[in-house]
Amino acid sequence: MKNNWWKESVVYQIYPQSFMDSNGDGIGDFNGIIRKLDYLQNLGVDVLWICPMYASPLVDNGYDISDYYKVNPIFGTNEDMEHLIEEAQKRNIKIILDLVVNHCSDQHEWFQKAMKDPNCEEASYFYFRTTENDKEPNNWRSNFGGSVWSRLPDGRWYYHTFAKEQPDLNWYCPELRDKIYEMINWWLEKGVAGFRIDAIINIQKDTTFPDYPADGPDGLCSADTVVSRASGIGEILEDLKVHTFQKYDVFTVGEVFNMKEEELQEFIGEHGHFSTMFDFSQHLLTAGEHGWYEQRPFCFEAWRDALFTAQEKAASVGFLSNIIENHDEPRGASTFLPGYAQNDDGVKMLATASLLLRGVPFIYQGQEIGMRNFKARSIEEFDDLNTKDQYELALRMGCTEQEALTCCNRMSRDNARRPMQWNAEDNAGFTTGTPWLKVNPDYTKINVQVQESDPDSVLNYYRKLTALRKDPRYVQTFTYGRFVPVRERIPEQ
């Protein structure tokens, strides 16, 4: 397989709200990231993926973009952002952005215009439908609960895969595609090295909007069904690539759930739509069929088998991106370790597996010090809209408040969104003000500073791993070598 810079890179994911606050307003920012670039260089990081930092009303914490060309003032100015790109470059660190183009914010100028005038060009950028009765156009369920359809005061329905404040963009509209391509190329010209591409599989759907068989008591069917019943994604993704990424030497990583198995080659093969895509197979093991209230217990053997299978499938095709956790998943140290291994040794085992597998290793902020889940005592302690929705769903399905809370504590996206733990001072050294989301009280024990001085710490272990992976003597083997399981699978009972 061809050698590419990104295949030999270690990526670090930053959730900007929670990484480092430089001005005491309790929210992380660009200058905070700049301050920590030496730390990141020292960790052996080559690429930073920064979660959405665009203008946004923050209904879904930045995944609802109101202006793709402006950064959110809570993080600084566009100049601060450019300064960050430059400072990173000085340390040989590239920056990739989050590309959120399945939907935008309902506050985006396009949607605002489309709401006012059903006949304007922008109205064709979205999916609007009218119905004879007062019923939604079909029975599809949104990922954050309820119908995918919400209604405007003038009676038109509009489509959203996620929250009602995140209207889906119509990828079957050529003018919309042009606007998106223009924006992507604008950022690439600014010097970003690529994109992590959000929820991209959801852009395909049958736009005759038929009803599908219901899969829950609400009479609706899931977004998974919507994706699996649709076809034609390849044409759209190729068009996207040809007009943007292909013109630059960039790295793209797709967030792809529910791809059809036979499409792997098309997605991440040598001439695939993306450089790589995430392997979520381990994370799907505990997901409940209808929601967090049905989450399945973790089984270590199943975890190992999922990992082996993913490695084997990708081996002759391309490169997956390996993660332990991200901003949507609970902390891996809390989820993927049996009770007896809930310690530094267990955390180091996870790190070894993840960083030395074939594929591109991603480290999510705090993973390198073994940060854990946060134990909330009430639903009030969460910010994430998905968590609130899942809590309500659990109650509706007959869970007690305590049971619903337990589900959220295990699965909540806020577990990974709590502030980064830098030291044992107030608010873990993340901010001098009041953090936007409460710090995990275990910061007095788990933090960067205390691990700096301990040669056997998880942090220093991560440093050794990245150095080993990139050591000129081994980099070819770790990057382009073959994955061979030493231990055989335990046969199914």
Half-sphere exposure of 11 (CA within 13 A, CB side): 32
Name the minimum Å distance from CB 98 to Ca ion.
Answer: 19
- The CA–CA distances, whole Å, from 69 to 61, 187, 289, 330 equal 17, 8, 38, 31
100 binds ligand TEU (CB under 6 A): yes
Question: Taking CB under 6 A as the criterion, which residues in 44-73 touch ligand TEU?
Answer: 60, 63
The residue from 275, 365, 386, 427 that contacts ligand TEU (CB under 6 A) is 386
Cβ 56 vs Cβ 66: under 8 Å: yes
- Cβ-based nearer residue to ligand TEU, 289 or 425: 289
67 binds Ca ion (CB under 5 A): no
Cβ 138 vs Cβ 210: under 8 Å: yes
- Cβ-based nearer residue to Ca ion, 21 or 384: 21
241/209 Cα distance (integer angstroms): 27
CB-based burial label for 490 (10 Å; 0-12, 13-18, 19+): exposed
- Cβ-based nearer residue to Ca ion, 21 or 198: 21
389 binds Ca ion (CB under 5 A): no
DSSP 125-152: GB-EE--SSSS-SS-BBPTTSSBSEEE-
- The CA–CA distances, whole Å, from 282 to 249, 308, 417 equal 30, 10, 20
Stretch that binds Ca ion, among 2-10, 20-28, 221-229, 322-330 (CB under 5 A): 20-28
Query: Which residues make Cβ contacts (< 8 Å) with residue 226, sequence separation at least 6?
Result: 140, 148, 161, 202, 205, 206, 212
The residue from 31, 41, 124, 143 that contacts ligand TEU (CB under 6 A) is 143
**Residue 19 site contact among ligand TEU, Ca ion, none (CB < 5 to 8 Å, cut-off depends on kind):** none
Q: Catalytic residue, from 255, 305, 325, 384: name it.
A: 255
For 168, phi then psi, to 5°, come to -70, 145
* Pair of tokens at residue 74: 């809570």
- Cβ-based nearer residue to ligand TEU, 4 or 143: 143
- Cβ-based nearer residue to Ca ion, 21 or 106: 21
Question: Taking CB under 6 A as the criterion, which residues in 160-189 touch ligand TEU?
Answer: 162
Name the minimum Å distance from CB 40 to Ca ion.
Answer: 18
12/33 Cα distance (integer angstroms): 12
- How many of the chain's residues bind Ca ion (CB under 5 A)? 5
Closest by CA position to 11, among listed 369, 344, 473, 470:
470
- The CA–CA distances, whole Å, from 452 to 19, 389, 427, 434, 459 equal 18, 39, 18, 26, 7
The residue from 15, 17, 21, 46 that contacts Ca ion (CB under 5 A) is 21
Name the minimum Å distance from CB 322 to Ca ion.
Answer: 31
Q: Tell me if residue 82 is catalytic.
A: no
Measured from each CB, the residue nearest to ligand TEU is 63
Question: Taking CB under 6 A as the criterion, which residues in 265-284 touch ligand TEU?
Answer: none
- Cβ-based nearer residue to Ca ion, 258 or 432: 432
Name the minimum Å distance from CB 129 to ligand TEU.
Answer: 22
For 341, phi then psi, to 5°, come to -110, 15
Closest by CA position to 195, among listed 85, 275, 104, 97:
97
Q: Tell me if residue 198 is catalytic.
A: yes
**Residue 417 site contact among Ca ion, ligand TEU, none (CB < 5 to 8 Å, cut-off depends on kind):** none
- Cβ-based nearer residue to ligand TEU, 104 or 446: 104
**Residue 27 site contact among Ca ion, ligand TEU, none (CB < 5 to 8 Å, cut-off depends on kind):** Ca ion
420 binds Ca ion (CB under 5 A): no
- How many of the chain's residues bind ligand TEU (CB under 6 A)? 13
Q: What is the DSSP letter of 36?
A: T
Name the minimum Å distance from CB 413 to ligand TEU.
Answer: 5
Which residues are paired to 94 by β-bridges? 47
- The CA–CA distances, whole Å, from 343 to 337, 368, 417, 457, 460 equal 9, 14, 21, 11, 15
**Residue 21 site contact among ligand TEU, Ca ion, none (CB < 5 to 8 Å, cut-off depends on kind):** Ca ion
How far out from the chain centre does Cα 378 lie?
25
* Pair of tokens at residue 343: 């310690």
285 binds ligand TEU (CB under 6 A): no
The residue from 97, 114, 123, 199 that contacts ligand TEU (CB under 6 A) is 199
Question: Taking CB under 5 A as the criterion, which residues in 22-41 touch Ca ion?
Answer: 23, 25, 27, 29
| Residues annotated catalytic, as ranges | 198, 255
Q: Where on the chain is the footprint of Ca ion (CB under 5 A)? A: 21, 23, 25, 27, 29
Q: Where on the chain is the footprint of ligand TEU (CB under 6 A)? A: 60, 63, 100, 143, 162, 198-199, 255, 257, 327-328, 386, 413
